[in-house]
């Protein structure tokens, strides 16, 4: 089949997906027609995926998370050979842009994370695909144009070692981290650019930059990787960790690690968008994979990894995540001026 014919069929299928999603909205109590259409769309994808037989997933998520997801996907669709490439978000974004320029993308589906995904969307790298399952995803966590859908929500919080920080010493607000007693005891992931931009929004640019200058003078220990930084705190190599993931901390707590977290409200969110490549080598398989991860079955797998699923009918397994947290709404406009603030971040030695 020619590339033109293949793309034409996929454009038709995209419209089909939009129709299915619309029917779920129009007929929420009587969705027989929508269910029939969804089954038909799945059958179409399965037929195409059987001919393609492969999936390449690019992800900035954890290795164990990726392997679990692909294991479950392959169990459901054993005729698909699955592969993944895992690296950090910055390197993944560069790789994706480089491949796109040659129009020879190796990847079918990508999960880059946060603002980086919006940058890739702006560059026309993602294919539009509205999954039938997207009608069950919280509207705050999907692209209104249909180019990406976040499969889970991350929160950026402060963690601390419970053996090194007594209950009455715990820094309960951002300003408390500037106390001289914490100098040289704070860890932070190297690539905290998005957190930095959000902080300027929360505090206002002038006050935010003043705060960041003072914070940068606290001799922060920078390491690549959010999980690694949480491990440093749990091991007692540092007392406090900024911009950590609470689901990783909860996982460590369950194993007996002396670590706890608190969120300074409003808590900064981090979305994890899933998107299909405009030049996907296996376009039917790519869309089948997206449907799988957005389905109730897929979102329950996401929840089992301690992450916060974005599907409205699947709860996180950590009760603390279910209610009572004031979370800042995701702001798609943060992508504007991102390069400028990235340079400011680096100039302030946040690297």
3-state secondary structure 282-312: CHHHHHHHHHHHHCHHHHHHHHHCCCEECEC
Give residue 175's pLDDT.
97
Give residue 337's pLDDT.
84
Reported pTM: 0.86
Give residue 323's pLDDT.
75
Mean predicted confidence (pLDDT) in 309-317: 95
Give residue 37's pLDDT.
67
Q: Say whether pLDDT at 17 is over 80.
A: no
Give residue 33's pLDDT.
60
Q: Say whether pLDDT at 258 is over 60.
A: yes
Among residues 343, 212, 279, 313, the alpha carbon closest in space to that of 10 is found at: 279
**Percent of the chain scoring above 90 in pLDDT:** 73
The tokens of 242 are what? Answer: 């900024």
Distances in Å between the alpha carbon of 276 and those of 108, 149, 296?
6, 10, 20
Instruction: Please enumerate in sequence order all residues whose Cβ is within 8 A of that of 253, keeping only pairs 6 or more positions apart, or say none.
Output: 259, 260
* Most confident stretch, 2-6, 20-24, 38-42, 163-167: 163-167
The label of the residue with tokens 């038709």 reads 12
Q: Say whether pLDDT at 209 is over 80.
A: yes
Between 4 and 113, the higher pLDDT residue: 113
Give residue 333's pLDDT.
85
Give residue 311's pLDDT.
96
Q: Say whether pLDDT at 13 is over 80.
A: no
Q: Band of the pLDDT at 309, cuts 50, 70, 90?
A: very high
pLDDT (tens digit, 9 = 90+) per residue, 279-305?
999 999 999 999 999 999 999 999 999
The reply to whether omega before 266 is within 30° of 0 (cis) is yes
**Domains in the chain, CATH or no CATH each:** 3-152+270-321 (3.40.190.10), 154-269+326-347 (3.40.190.10)
Give residue 88's pLDDT.
86
The label of the residue with tokens 């299915």 reads 20
Signed CA dihedral, 327, 129, 90, 236: sign only: positive
* Most confident stretch, 19-23, 212-216, 320-324: 212-216
pLDDT (tens digit, 9 = 90+) per residue, 157-182?
999 999 999 999 999 999 999 999 99
Q: Band of the pLDDT at 146, cuts 50, 70, 90?
A: very high
Q: Which of 29-38, 56-65, 112-121 has the lowest mean pLDDT?
A: 29-38
pLDDT (tens digit, 9 = 90+) per residue, 72-92?
999 999 999 999 999 988 899
């Amino acid at each position: 089949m020619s590339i033109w014919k293949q793309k034409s069929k996929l454009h038709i299928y995209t419209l089909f997906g939009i129709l299915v999603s619309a029917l779920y909205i129009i007929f929420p109590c009587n969705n027989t027609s929508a269910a029939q259409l969804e089954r038909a769309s799945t059958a179409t994808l399965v037929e195409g995926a059987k001919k393609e037989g492969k999936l390449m997933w690019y992800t900035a998520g954890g290795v164990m998370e990726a392997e679990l997801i692909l294991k479950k996907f392959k169990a459901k669709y054993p005729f698909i050979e699955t592969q993944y490439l895992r690296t950090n978000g910055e390197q993944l974004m560069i790789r994706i842009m480089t491949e796109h320029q040659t129009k020879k993308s190796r990847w079918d589906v990508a999960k880059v994370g946060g603002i980086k995904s919006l940058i890739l969307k702006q560059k026309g790298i993602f294919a539009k695909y509205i999954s039938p399952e997207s009608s069950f995803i919280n509207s705050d966590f999907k692209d209104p144009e249909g180019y990406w859908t976040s499969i889970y929500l991350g929160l950026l919080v402060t963690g601390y070692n419970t053996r090194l920080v007594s209950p009455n010493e715990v820094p309960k607000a951002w300003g408390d981290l500037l106390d001289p007693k914490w100098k040289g005891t704070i860890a932070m992931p190297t690539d905290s650019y998005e957190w930095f931009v959000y902080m300027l929004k929360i505090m206002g640019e002038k006050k935010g930059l003043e705060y960041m200058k003072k914070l940068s003078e606290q001799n922060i220990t920078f390491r690549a990787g959010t999980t690694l930084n949480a491990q440093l705190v749990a091991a007692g190599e540092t007392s406090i960790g900024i911009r950590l993931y609470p689901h990783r901390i909860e996982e460590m707590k369950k194993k007996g690690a002396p670590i706890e977290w608190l969120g300074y409200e409003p808590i900064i969110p981090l979305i994890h968008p899933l998107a299909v490549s405009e030049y996907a080598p296996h376009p039917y398989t790519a869309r089948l994979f997206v449907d799988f991860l957005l389905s109730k079955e897929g979102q329950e797998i996401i929840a089992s990894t301690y992450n916060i699923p974005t599907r409205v009918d699947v709860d996180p397994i950590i009760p603390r995540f279910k209610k009572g947290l004031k979370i800042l709404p995701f702001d798609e406009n943060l992508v504007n001026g991102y390069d400028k603030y990235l340079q400011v971040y680096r100039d302030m030695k946040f690297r």
